[in-house]
Amino acid sequence: MRLILMSALVPFFLLPALHAQRLSWRDILQRLESERPEPDFVYPYAQEDTLQFGELWLPKSKGSHPVIVLIHGGCWLDQYPGVELVYYIANDLRKRGFAVWNLEYRRIGYPGSGYPGTFTDVAQGMDFLRTIAERHQLDLSRLITMGHSAGGHLALWLALRSKLLPTSPLYTANPLPVHAVISLAGIGDLAYFDHFGAPACGEETVDQLIDWQHRGKEEALEDTSPDRLLPFAGKQYIVHGVFDAAVPPFIGLHYNDQSEAKHQETELVIIPNAGHFDIIVPWTDAWKKILKLVDESLPK
């Protein structure tokens, strides 16, 4: 494990803490009203529901493109925005030569969501890349999953799902391999988040996601919580803004400890002067630091 403090931490009681919390998802949507980047292609990855689609953002460069599977957050809940929340970083990554596959999925409150729907959606969505890889020169040997908040949980889960047992409804015989995963304010331990961080998303959100009231808590966690599936062969980057009130850095610290105990190659990155949404917009210093991790994560 390598812990990275991207620069000297400022004291929590100083004004930068307040400044770092000013950016919200509403600010991102408001800015999109005047300048909205658009994906190059939209593909349904399944036919069951209109929310089962991905948006492909393709660079102008020739040759094969490394791929980032991007998963938005929003507490796994349908009351928050979807793929548009990460449009700005999808566009920025596209400009830098990455193909970005921005996944939508059914979220809690929408029919078919929760267990197993939310999980099978992102799994089907990711594996659909095999269908379009040749057409769009996607290099699936250089594939990163990246997610924000609840999407960080799903990005970790996608990287680890090859460890699922065949008895799980979420099991896939030949899941698309992941080279590295970048979790941006993600949730690696669902039970820990439910106990310490759930008020940010609602008291019963984790239960609605994995249905532990009916399945039994331990059984429900075994195939849905990334900490239960560790390790995988690739590398994890666990990124948190130090002033994140929605998914505080101690959530990542806890998951990092679990990863280290299971010999998972991991970097824990704490970014000063950044809140929950500063890490998913390209005009912040936080994003510039995350880009370095993206470059580092790719095979040479």
- Which residues, in sequence order, are CB contacts of 248 under 8 Å at separation 6+? 197, 240
Taking residues 16-23, report their average pLDDT: 56
Q: How far apart are CA 185 and CA 170, in angstroms?
A: 24
Helix 117-127, helix 129-136: angle, nearest 10: 30
pLDDT digits (tens, 9 = 90+) for 185-203: 999 999 999 988 767 788 8
The CATH class that applies to domain 2-297 reads alpha beta
Beta bridge partners of 235: 180
Instruction: Break the chain into its structural domains and give their ranges.
Output: 2-297
Tokens of 257: 């400890």
Q: How far apart are CA 114 and CA 106, in angstroms?
A: 8
What pLDDT band is residue 12 in, cutting at 50, 70 and 90?
very low
Q: Are 40 and 57 a contacting pair, CB within 8 Å? A: yes
The Cα angle at residue 300 between residues 91 and 271, in degrees rounded to 5:
55
pLDDT digits (tens, 9 = 90+) for 86-117: 999 999 999 999 999 999 999 999 999 999 99
pTM of the complete model? 0.92
pLDDT of residue 9: 41
Q: How far apart are CA 33 and CA 50, in angstroms?
A: 23
pLDDT of residue 7: 42
Cα–Cα distances (Å) from 72 to 25, 50, 52, in that order, read: 11, 17, 14
pLDDT of residue 3: 56
Q: What whole-number percentage of the chain has pLDDT above 70?
A: 92
Question: Exposure pattern of 159-170 as b/e (b: 16+ CB <10 Å)?
Answer: bbbbebeeeeee
